[in-house]
Amino acid sequence: METINQSRRHFFKVAAAVAGSLTLGVYWDAAQAEEKAAKVAGPGEAGSTELKHGLFEPNAFIRIDPDNTIHIISKHMEMGQGSHTGLSTLIAEEMDADWAQIRTENAPADASRYGNMAFGNIQGTGGSTSMANSYLQMRQAGAAAKVMLVGAAASLWGVPASEITVQKGVVSHASGKKATFGELAEAAQKQAVPATVELKKPEQFVYIGKSDLQRVDIMGKVNGTAQFTQDVQLPNMLTALVAHAPWFGASVKSVDDSATKAVAGVKSVVTLPNAVAVLATDFWSAKKGRDALKITWDDSKAYKGSSADQFAAYQKLAEQAGKETLKEGSAQEALQTAAKTVKAAYSFPYLAHAAMEPMNCVVQLTEQGCELWYGAQLHTIDQMLVGKVLGIDPAQVKINSLYAGGSFGRRGNPASDYILEAVMIAKASPDRVPVKMVWTREDDMRKGYYRPAFYHSLQAGLDQAGNATAWFQRVVGQSIVTGTPMEGMMQNGFDPMSVEGAGEPYAIPHKAIELHTPTDIPVTVQWWRSVGHTHTAYATECFIDEMAHAAGKDPVEFRRPLLKDSPRHLAVLNLAAEKAGWGTALPKGRGRGIAVVKSFNSYVAEVAEVTVKEDGTFSVDRVVVAVDCGVAVNPDVITAQMTGGVGYALSAALGEKITLKDGQVEQSNFHDYTPLRINQMPVVEVHILASQENPSGVGEPGVPPLAPAVANALFAATGKRHYELPLGNKA
Amino acid sequence: MKLMINGQTQELDIAPDMPLLWALRDHAHLTGTKFGCGLAQCGACTVHVDGQPTRACVTPVSAVEGKQITTIEGASQSSKVTQALQAAWLANNVPQCGYCQSGQLMSATALLSQNPKPTDDEINSFMAGNICRCATYQSIKTAIKQAAASLA
């Protein structure tokens, strides 16, 4: 994720230079400031391009109706992570809006207005960047709208703007004059967009940092009316179910669809290179039709490998020198002269995202191009790839972004896989009607794009006093971005997401990391909530714990001097340890473990407490989280993301794995790919550090420390280390 | 087929082996009940049949003819228990992605209808059939207890 981090650093550098009094547009990109400012400001830009009478659209993110509703156009999609609430908070704060007047909707696809500034010129949500890249932009959009509303009131009332105050959506003057935003909307539309606006100081915040805001997406999610892709109903729409090739790399040889075509409701059968789709009037007819297909597959180029062989090959690779991704000092030599050495190796399976809503997408091909309805996460990439398949301009791909029933990375596919499949089905279909492609749970589980399997081998050296002197790590696993439109994220010939976080941030004089990236495995892989940190954090934090034990030191005491140059790591480590009662005695059979990880510019330490029962099974009882994510814009959302991150990570740590046998995925549904259930959820306590740093991500950073904290707690309880995930149910 | 959905009889042109889930979603156009697994593994499709929590994805419509079917849309209007739970869900900002929450609320409604003051263990065992990948479990537990208190 270095590409992203670098552009984000640039963004903050520019932003910091103009903090206090910001010029519209400056913080996007100094070179393009003028053009962007012109684009973002002006009527008719807020979502739709139709300007309706009486509306006030100060910029691309805000539309105020005469009935006093404030529509906030969110450039970031909502998959549960709270972006709609977060971005709305920023705008409402600077506008001094009433929270009850806010309605938040998804932006259309248009990177020029809704680009993610951390991704360059791409519209998309991911890498826990939503709040980080929107913090100043949305506040400025809100502040500009407020200036225009105040200006409108000043001219209507014939009073100086400086005498007007705004509170909870009411504009007022000492003379007793009052107006709502809705009442001022039409007049405000005529106000000039301010060239500069002043943002509030933290002590003036009424919403940022407060815990009592209701999520803006909540009402439809408690009464069943929230619209997900699965819920889209269009006139004459057909539902498509797909029979996918049972092996990666296989293709369709021949299809006998005679039985399928006899199924009531089935309209057509469409053959793609590696799949066959059945289109019918409803899901059940399509499924019956799909089950009746007789397909002969061409497996001549199919991958027929098995997980056991794959890990054996990875282990062999780890014995050889790989691509050097980090070299500080001379680790191999330092290991030779160390007083004591520690060795370990860790293996990590493929993981499915398994969002509650299986992948799906609705497509309507039109005379002008193509219209899509789905939980869009990487709009610009999807537009580009769909445009390529249809031979049309990407701008002709219209995206209606809906709530995503979870994603955890899956909906932001770098190859737009499920979207292209839906588009190809619609393209091949004889009927020009809307097509809703729906994957079943089994399709979703077996169709790939997994967190890649990884293998890490580590060696460390300690001196006589037990100080760490050397760290040598070899990492083996597939690259996520190679061969995708996001290949630009590669650095010096390797995928930085394969090693991000490995060995960090410990101040050890000799460090080396090497990487092997197998390219002969066609199992498709993708980012999965916290990406490379899902495995590097486990290897690093379990190994540090093992080094502490070898040095005869307490794991927290051992880490502290190694974090002397990392004050934010140290602060969360200390806070989590303190709140968890680190060092206090626990009864026999119980254990406490700790891990600290920086990911996506946020710092999280977690302490897990486990109980090992007499039969060897264990439970995770309590997890204490300390997080530093800069300014805590929505403490409730942060707490929810940390708690949910703990649950998602624990789910994977305890029981999730995708395995292959003769090339076929062995898991199919929630009985053999087993998500965490309510009875396994520990008590989670979240402590947020007070900070004035720019906000950083919270969607992913709660995940990485959990598994190593649990494994370290199991060691504390039993003296046994865990080198393979998932842990299973035995300590 | 005639189905009694949320207090109203609906005549639907569907095969008797169609799971109730698809009759509700594709034919009665009630999309609050969700498809998650199709195997009664996740609970996203939970509805009530004569008051009993039922996984609509594995229940053929032939098995529910003449019975009272209640979905999240109906329960939101007619059930005091569901409404108390929804108020607690709002107060605790329970949902994240929200996809499983209709099923969670229908299971929780059944729980409080049968057991107005559940303990943590009783909540765990009754709600264990409903998966939430966002892991909102802790808030669900808090909200169920709050709703129980508000109904007492």
Contact B99 A214 (CB under 8 A): no
> CATH fold of A2-222, please?
Aldehyde Oxidoreductase; domain 4 (3.30.365)
pLDDT score of A20 more than 80:
no
Residues of chain A in contact with residue B29, where contact means CB-CB under 8 angstroms, are 233
Least confident of A13-22, A465-474, A629-638, A694-703: A13-22
Q: Domain B2-74 carries which CATH code?
A: 3.10.20.30
- Say what the pLDDT of residue A3 is: 31
Mean pLDDT score, A642-648? 98
pLDDT category of residue A579 using cuts at 50, 70 and 90? very high
Contact B36 A82 (CB under 8 A): no
- Distance CA(A725)–CA(A729), nearest Å, equals 11
Query: Please, is A319 exposed, middle or buried when counting C-beta atoms within 10 Å of its C-beta (0-12, 13-18, 19+)?
Result: exposed
Domain B75-151 classified CATH 1.10.150.120? yes
Q: Do A229-301+359-438 and A307-350+449-718 come out as alike in CATH topology? A: yes
CA-based end-to-end distance of chain A: 34
For residue B83, the distance in angstroms to the closest alpha carbon of chain A comes to: 9
Strand partners, A72: A62, A104
Q: Mutation test of the interface with chain A: which of B31, B83, B96, B145, choosing the one with the most A Cβ atoms within 10 A?
A: B96
ipTM, 2 dp: 0.98
Residues of chain B in contact with residue A676, where contact means CB-CB under 8 angstroms, are 135, 137
Mean pLDDT score, A147-154? 97
Choice between A21 and B42, residue whose per-residue pLDDT is larger: B42
User: What is the sign of the dihedral through the CA atoms of A155, A161, A164 and A165?
Assistant: positive
Q: What is the dihedral of CA A700, A704, A709, A710, to 10 degrees?
A: 80
- Distance CA(B35)–CA(B99), nearest Å, equals 9
- Distance CA(A627)–CA(A330), nearest Å, equals 34
Q: Mutation test of the interface with chain A: which of B13, B93, B119, B136, choosing the one with the most A Cβ atoms within 10 A?
A: B93
Q: What are the tokens at A502?
A: 């490995």
Contact A408 B35 (CB under 8 A): no
Contact A669 B32 (CB under 8 A): no
How far is Cα of residue A343 from the mean position of the Cα atoms in its chain? 33
Mean pLDDT score, A59-73? 95
- Please tell me which of the candidates B29, B72, B138 has its beta carbon nearest to residue A681: B138
What single letter denotes the amino acid at residue A236? N
- Please tell me which of the candidates B39, B100, B105 has its beta carbon nearest to residue A669: B39
Residues of chain B in contact with residue A671, where contact means CB-CB under 8 angstroms, are 39, 41
Query: Please, is A10 exposed, middle or buried when counting C-beta atoms within 10 Å of its C-beta (0-12, 13-18, 19+)?
Result: middle
H-type alpha helices, A168-254: 181-189, 218-223
Residues of chain B in contact with residue A403, where contact means CB-CB under 8 angstroms, are 97-98
pLDDT category of residue A38 using cuts at 50, 70 and 90? very low
- Please tell me which of the candidates B41, B98, B123 has its beta carbon nearest to residue A217: B98
Contact A636 B93 (CB under 8 A): yes
Contact B101 A230 (CB under 8 A): no
Kindly give the pairing relationship between strand A266-272 and strand A590-599: unpaired
- Say what the pLDDT of residue A17 is: 27
What are the pLDDT digits (tens) for B103-128? 999 999 999 999 999 999 999 999 99
- Distance CA(A136)–CA(A133), nearest Å, equals 7
pLDDT score of A478 more than 80:
yes
For residue B81, the distance in angstroms to the closest alpha carbon of chain A comes to: 13
Residues of chain A in contact with residue B122, where contact means CB-CB under 8 angstroms, are none
- Say what the pLDDT of residue A598 is: 98
Residues of chain B in contact with residue A648, where contact means CB-CB under 8 angstroms, are 133-135
- Say what the pLDDT of residue A51 is: 43
Q: What are phi and psi of A552, to 5 degrees?
A: 70, 30
Q: How far is CA A25 from CA A8, A44, A196, A214, in A?
A: 15, 18, 10, 30
Q: Taking CA A386 as the corner, what is the angle to CA A383 and CA A390, rounded to the nearest 5 degrees?
A: 130
- Please tell me which of the candidates B26, B38, B133 has its beta carbon nearest to residue A356: B133
Residues of chain A in contact with residue B125, where contact means CB-CB under 8 angstroms, are 679
- Please tell me which of the candidates A405, A440, A636 has its beta carbon nearest to residue B38: A440
- Say what the pLDDT of residue A485 is: 79
Contact A679 B128 (CB under 8 A): yes
Mean pLDDT score, A464-491? 93
- Say what the pLDDT of residue A7 is: 34
Residues of chain B in contact with residue A82, where contact means CB-CB under 8 angstroms, are 96
- Residue A118 DSSP symbol: G
Mean pLDDT score, A177-206? 95
Q: What are the tokens at A179?
A: 């107006």
Q: Mutation test of the interface with chain B: which of A237, A284, A686, choosing the one with the most B Cβ atoms within 10 A?
A: A284
pLDDT score of A34 more than 70:
no
Mean pLDDT score, A708-726? 98
Contact A354 B133 (CB under 8 A): yes
What are the residue ranges spanned by the domains of chain B? 2-74, 75-151
Contact A357 B130 (CB under 8 A): no
Residue in chain B lying closest to A283 (CA)? B22
- Residue B19 DSSP symbol: B
> CATH fold of A229-301+359-438, please?
Aldehyde Oxidoreductase; domain 4 (3.30.365)
Identify the helix (H) or strand (E) that includes residue A337: helix A331-337
User: What is the sign of the dihedral through the CA atoms of A536, A514, A524 and A308?
Assistant: negative
Residues of chain A in contact with residue B104, where contact means CB-CB under 8 angstroms, are none
pLDDT score of A422 more than 80:
yes
pLDDT category of residue A54 using cuts at 50, 70 and 90? low
CB A264 within 8 A of CB B116: no
pLDDT score of A282 more than 50:
yes
- Distance CA(A73)–CA(A81), nearest Å, equals 17
pLDDT category of residue A484 using cuts at 50, 70 and 90? confident
Exposure string over A511-548, b if 16+ CB within 10 A, otherwise e: bbbbbbbeeebbbbbbbbbbbbbbbbbbbbbbbbbbbb
Residues of chain A in contact with residue B128, where contact means CB-CB under 8 angstroms, are 677-679
Please count the other Cβ atoms lying within 10 Å of the Cβ belonging to residue A328.
14
Q: What is the mean pLDDT of chain A?
A: 92
Q: Do B2-74 and B75-151 come out as alike in CATH topology? A: no
- Distance CA(A258)–CA(B99), nearest Å, equals 36
Residue in chain A lying closest to B33 (CA)? A224
Residues of chain B in contact with residue A230, where contact means CB-CB under 8 angstroms, are 25, 31, 34-35
- Residue A172: CB partners within 8 Å, gap ≥ 6? A164, A165, A166, A178, A179
The SS3 assignment for A679 reads helix
Least confident of A37-46, A197-206, A718-727: A37-46
What are the residue ranges spanned by the domains of chain A? 2-222, 229-301+359-438, 307-350+449-718
Q: Mutation test of the interface with chain A: which of B25, B34, B37, choosing the one with the most A Cβ atoms within 10 A?
A: B37
Contact B95 A221 (CB under 8 A): yes
- Please tell me which of the candidates A230, A440, A671 has its beta carbon nearest to residue B34: A230
What are the pLDDT digits (tens) for A488-540? 889 899 999 999 999 999 999 999 999 999 999 999 999 999 999 999 999 99
Q: Which of A44, A82, A79, A78 is nearest to A63 (CA)?
A: A44
Residues of chain A in contact with residue B139, where contact means CB-CB under 8 angstroms, are 640, 643
Q: Mutation test of the interface with chain A: which of B1, B18, B35, B141, choosing the one with the most A Cβ atoms within 10 A?
A: B35
For residue B47, the distance in angstroms to the closest alpha carbon of chain A comes to: 12
Contact B29 A233 (CB under 8 A): yes
pLDDT score of A610 more than 50:
yes
Strand segments (E) across A494-642 = 510-516, 590-599, 602-612, 618-628
CB A200 within 8 A of CB A382: no
Residue in chain B lying closest to A285 (CA)? B18
Q: What are the tokens at A265?
A: 């409701």
Contact B32 A223 (CB under 8 A): yes
- Say what the pLDDT of residue A46 is: 43
- Say what the pLDDT of residue A314 is: 98
- Residue A194 DSSP symbol: P
For residue A649, the distance in angstroms to the closest alpha carbon of chain B comes to: 10
pLDDT score of A16 more than 80:
no
Contact A403 B97 (CB under 8 A): yes
Q: What are the tokens at A493?
A: 């010939």
Contact A80 B34 (CB under 8 A): no
How would you write the pLDDT of chain B (152 residues) with one tens digit per residue? 999 999 999 999 999 999 999 999 999 999 999 999 999 999 999 999 999 999 999 999 999 999 999 999 999 999 999 999 999 999 999 999 999 999 999 999 999 999 999 999 999 999 999 999 999 999 999 999 999 999 99
Residues of chain B in contact with residue A79, where contact means CB-CB under 8 angstroms, are 97
Q: How far is CA B17 from CA A92, B20, B27, in A?
A: 51, 9, 14
Q: Mutation test of the interface with chain B: which of A223, A282, A620, A672, choosing the one with the most B Cβ atoms within 10 A?
A: A223
- Please tell me which of the candidates B89, B99, B105 has its beta carbon nearest to residue A405: B99
- Residue A339: CB partners within 8 Å, gap ≥ 6? A461, A462, A463, A464
Contact A283 B26 (CB under 8 A): yes
- Say what the pLDDT of residue A673 is: 98
- Please tell me which of the candidates B22, B41, B76 has its beta carbon nearest to residue A223: B76
- Please tell me which of the candidates A282, A440, A670 has its beta carbon nearest to residue B41: A670
Residues of chain A in contact with residue B36, where contact means CB-CB under 8 angstroms, are 356-358, 441
In the A/B pair of chains, how many CB contacts fall below 8 A? 176
Q: Domain A307-350+449-718 carries which CATH code?
A: 3.30.365.10
What single letter denotes the amino acid at residue B40? A
- Say what the pLDDT of residue A53 is: 58
